Amino acid sequence: MKFKYYYGLAVVIAAMMMAACASTETVSPSSSPAKREFRGAWIQCVNGQFVGMSTEQMQNTLSYQLDELRKDGVNAIIFQVRPECDALYQSSLEPWSRFLTGQQGVAPAPYWDPLQWMVEQCHKRGMELHAWINPYRAKTKTTHDLAGSHIAKKRADWTFNYDGQLILNPGIPEARNYVCGVVDDIVKRYDIDGLHIDDYFYPYPAPGQVINDQEQYERYNRSFHNIGDWRRDNVNVFIQQLYKTIHDRKPWVKFGVSPFGIYRNAQSAPNVGSKTNGTQNYDDLFADVLLWVNNGWLDYCVPQIYWEIGNKAADYKTLIRWWNSHSADRHLYIGEDIERTVKYADPANPDVHQMGAKFNLHKQCSNVNGTVLWYAKAAVDNVGNYGTKLRTQYWRYPALQPQMKYIDGKAPNSPRKVKPLRTSGDYVLFWTKPKGSGWKDEAYKYVVYRFKDGEKVDLSDPSKIVAITQNDYYKLPYKDGKNKFTYVVTALDRMSNESKGIVKKVKL
């Protein structure tokens, strides 16, 4: 993740002004929410937001954020667990992160495992949890002391210095294997729904800095005659290896990549580049994102299109349309910068900020399957009225995850024995898990729909969803037993394929 979009007091003031303007937006029929949509939010630690918090304080903070994000319609959390070859989870391979405890290698006290806790909390709220790692960064600029168990201490020869950072060298096969081993350990031990990496491969270019990898190029060049092509291939090999590592361990765990927002500029690649002028994945970060998408080496791609509509160097409208036309056979979600979105006015309507215009562009781009918010706290803090607009307009109804038929497209069997019963003074709709063998066929969650008496049962209408849950029951809102309703319960498997519904009529 490129952490450079913080605007200080000016942003806050602008956001407050735009919040008042945003209330003049109108809801159009085209803004009706989709039934299937990835609605993610990044929760990062590298900005130090958790340092100095006790276990209880951090859990309370995260609980509040998750509750608010759920109200906003978010259905997936991308939680940073490895910012610099360290861990916000129990690991025998890497030290505890200083971004959790203040000192690398020191466990939290009272002890807890943030990743395990987040998996449980997200699943309880019907959300997915994607574990977010930075694959190659071994030390940030602001870290000064590394624990003795850190990989850069044990294998300094696997790293190079660059602009105050330490980077695991992508050109060293053992370094690639090491990262894949760390990921395999996470996927094996935690019930995560996705494994997510950000935009740091080779480091972002810095003035006067040189990547010190000539020795590795000479040793491992694999007949490449250009060091840039060799570096790109190093990352390609890693991405392919990482995808295989994840899916060999658990085929249902989704692998997602969040690249920088520009693949290539048209002046560098007239046939494929976008009409932009900025840092390039392919040329500057040695990340050939389109190759990964086209070869199916990832399950979803989240380009960080953090600019505003009308930006002279990197126009948002230009970029979302470019990614839409190049998404191929893998899911495309858009990385949205909340603060920048509410800072700038809509060019077509200066009285409002750009949230509405951007969401309209999402609707117009048929290959866009969702959004990831940068960053979660900005939505929770309702900067520029962004969170309110999510929960009252754009994401006002629950959404299932988009199907990934290239992993599994077969629906599970329907729930069994759906029946309302009275228990402990409550009226509860119970059901039994359907029969199914293996992860492709077993029910993992359930969807509960509610229809008024005489209303057509239409499971394509997300406004009728009252619960997406891992429970095998739903508490009915009983009043006096005089009103008739129809409830429908369906089963979802690991890949959100949905069964046929079982109908049950009740009086509430």
Query: What's the pLDDT tens digit per position in 482-499?
Result: 999 999 999 999 999 999
Of the chain, the end-to-end C-alpha distance in Å amounts to 49
Residue 309 has pLDDT above 80, yes or no: yes
> Could you please report the per-residue DSSP string of 139-182?
E-TT-----TTSHHHH-GGGEEEETTEEEE-TT-HHHHHHHHHH
Query: What's the pLDDT tens digit per position in 160-178?
Result: 999 999 999 999 999 999 9
Region label for 142, one of left (φ > 0), alpha (ψ between -120 and 50) or beta (otherwise)? alpha
Cross-strand pairs, 452:
485
What pLDDT sits at residue 1? 58
User: β-strands 128-133, 76-82: how paired?
Assistant: parallel
What pLDDT sits at residue 327? 86
Contact call for residues 473 and 428 (beta carbons, < 8 A)? yes
Residue 25 has pLDDT above 80, yes or no: no
Query: What's the pLDDT tens digit per position in 428-472?
Result: 999 999 999 999 999 999 999 999 999 999 999 999 999 999 999
Question: pTM higher than 0.85, yes or no?
Answer: yes
Q: How many Cα atoms within 13 Å fall on the side-chain side of residue 304?
A: 22
Q: Tell me which H or E stretch contains 479.
A: none
Lowest mean pLDDT among 44-48, 121-125, 172-176, 414-418: 44-48
Q: Tell me which H or E stretch contains 390.
A: none
What pLDDT sits at residue 329? 84
pLDDT tier, 27 (very low <50, low <70, confident <90, very high otherwise)? very low
pLDDT tier, 33 (very low <50, low <70, confident <90, very high otherwise)? confident
Main-chain dihedrals φ then ψ at residue 121, nearest 5 degrees? -70, -40
Contact call for residues 77 and 134 (beta carbons, < 8 A)? no
Number of H helices, E strands in the chain: 15, 20
Contact call for residues 347 and 384 (beta carbons, < 8 A)? no
